[in-house]
């Protein structure tokens, strides 16, 4: 019997992470589902015949334990854990929200990649981060979130140069607006009305399954093919879809 390839997905309790875990399991991967909410990833792991590990990416010990649980060879790392908190202008922004976003989105992503690099190198694996078009352009009320996603993009750009002679591919997916399980709801502290308003007037926003399909596509590319950046926009803007691909 052929041993299954291993994929690790952080932030797998909901949204893009959960959908990505399902998409990779459908491709035959042994998926390690990681998130702070253990009950949710345990349920998911049972559904997809994967493994559940409780992990807060802002906790170094949690991240090290996740890497140990995943094993010495990891074929795919989906560094998805992140969040958006608050939408106030710079003049009135809650800087604690900004610190929280940088801690999760930037430091948490860097810590996760650090912990998994040896296992990824051993498997000739691929790192996939879930960025955002907010890491390319800014918008009113989004300075903190946009700043954190710009930082993730810079992190991946530097990492791509630093690993040029290593058998590890480095890819970022930068979606446009995605209608996800909880993303907007968490951003507005559980205010369902404010969360719903985010999508008003948006024609056919992306879904979490759209991004999961992109994750699975990248994971299955031949080793000699690399996608540096994939920008995924809503269907109404499909003509603006871009893939930066190198071989």
Catalytic residue set: 145
Are the CB atoms for 94 and 188 separated by under 8 Å? no
3-state secondary structure the chain: CCCCCEEEEECCCCHHHHHHHHHHHHCCCEEEEEECCHHHHHHHHHHHCCEEEECCCCCHHHHHHHHHHHCCCCCEEEECCCCCCCCCCHHHCCHHHHHHHHHHHHHHHHHHHHHHHHHHHHHCCEEEEECCHHHCCCCCCCHHHHHHHHHHHHHHHHHHHHCCCCCCEEEEEEECCEECCCHHHHHCCCCHHHHHHCCCCCCCCEEHHHHHHHHHHHHCCCCCCEEEEEEECCHHHHHHCEEEEEC
Cα 21 to Cα 158: distance, rounded to the nearest angstrom: 27
Residue located via tokens 């507005």: 188
């Amino acid at each position: 019997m052929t041993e299954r390839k291993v994929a690790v997905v952080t932030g797998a309790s909901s949204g893009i992470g959960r959908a990505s875990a399902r998409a990779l399991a459908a491709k035959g991967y042994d998926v390690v589902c990681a998130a702070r909410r253990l009950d949710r990833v345990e349920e998911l792991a049972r559904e997809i015949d994967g493994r559940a590990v409780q992990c807060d990416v802002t906790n170094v010990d949690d991240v090290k334990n996740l890497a140990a649980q995943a094993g010495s060879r990891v074929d795919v790392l989906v560094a998805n854990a992140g969040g958006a908190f608050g939408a106030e202008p710079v003049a009135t922004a809650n800087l604690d929200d900004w610190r929280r976003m940088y801690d999760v989105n930037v430091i948490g992503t860097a810590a996760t990649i650090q912990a998994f690099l040896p296992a990824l190198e051993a498997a000739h694996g691929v790192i996939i981060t879930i960025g955002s078009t907010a890491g390319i352009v800014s918008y009113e009320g989004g300075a903190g979130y946009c700043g954190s996603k710009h930082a993730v993009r810079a992190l991946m750009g530097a990492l791509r140069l630093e690993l040029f002679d290593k058998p590890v591919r480095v890819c970022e997916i930068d979606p446009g607006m995605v209608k996800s399980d909880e993303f907007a709801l968490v951003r507005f502290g559980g205010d369902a009305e404010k969360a719903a308003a985010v999508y008003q007037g948006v024609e056919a926003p992306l879904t979490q399954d759209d991004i999961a399909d992109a994750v699975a596509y990248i994971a299955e590319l031949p080793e000699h093919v690399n996608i540096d950046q994939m920008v995924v926009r809503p269907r109404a803007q499909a003509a603006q879809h871009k893939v930066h691909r190198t071989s």
